[in-house]
Amino acid sequence: MDTASLLLLLFIALGSYIQATTGFAFGLIVVSGVSALGLAPIEVTAFVVSALSLTNAAVGLYGGQWREMNFRAFGWMIVSCLPTTLFGVWLLGYLGDNGVNLLKLCLGGFIVVSSLVMMAQSHRRRAASSSFAFASSGVLAGVMGGMFATFGPPLTFMMYRQPDSLAKIRATLLSIFCCTAAIRVMFVSASQPIEIQTWWLCLIGFPVVVVSSLMARRFPLPLSSRAMRLFAFSLLLFSGGSLIWQAV
């Protein structure tokens, strides 16, 4: 257990706690932190994040929490997200380092602008978004998730604008991440060899995810609805900025 592994586990614990509380941010925190410090290649980090995100979401939904989700939003997002997830995995291998950096720059800029707009308008919508809006966010989330295992920004941007309770938003996001993470892990495992070191990182990260997720359920962040939305958009702003920093 070297310093890099300990730092990776620290990011996993932080990401697990925040995702179990807000419904997103696990992949954003782990991928951004690991990539910024150069702890592991993006392909390895993305696979570990996918495997552990599945665990995190399952723990967060334990006890029937999934019944609270917005089924309409979940349906449109998941139908559009799954095929583009497979495309994103393929695109990661096709582009190479230079292409990936360019895509990170574009995605980071999009996330930064979106988060700034939402921070200025942090109140909820009075009416639910259209089916097309949910499907569009799912398409973009699939590409991002397939490449970087970070499905969160487009889905969070959409869900935190809905006239739903925080519990419903959280359950919807965790349910989507549970499904997409399972698909990504199965597709990557079937299409390319996974090194033993990668499986080892997944193994040692599993208890960290479980403990952190349970701690979040027992000791959630003491924030109001408005404060939680601002916190979520601030995380998006940080993630977009980190993608731009990695790209340049």
The pLDDT tens digits of the residues spanning 72-101 come to 999 999 999 988 988 888 887 777 656 767
Check residue 65 and report its DSSP letter: G
pLDDT at 185: 87
pTM value?
0.75
pLDDT at 80: 93
Q: How many domains does the chain have?
A: 1
The list of the chain residues with pLDDT below 70 reads 1, 35-36, 96-98, 100, 103, 106-107, 110-111, 114-115, 117-126, 225, 228-229, 232
The separation between CA 175 and the C-alpha centre of its own chain, rounded to angstroms, equals 12
Alpha-carbon torsion 53, 56, 57, 58, what sign?
Answer: positive
pLDDT of residue 74: 93
HEC profile of 159-198? HCCCCCCHHHHHHHHHHHHHHHHHHHHHHHHHHCCCCHHH
Under DSSP, is residue 14 helix (H, G, I), strand (E, B) or coil?
A: helix
pLDDT for res 217: 78
Domain span at residue 118 reads: 3-247
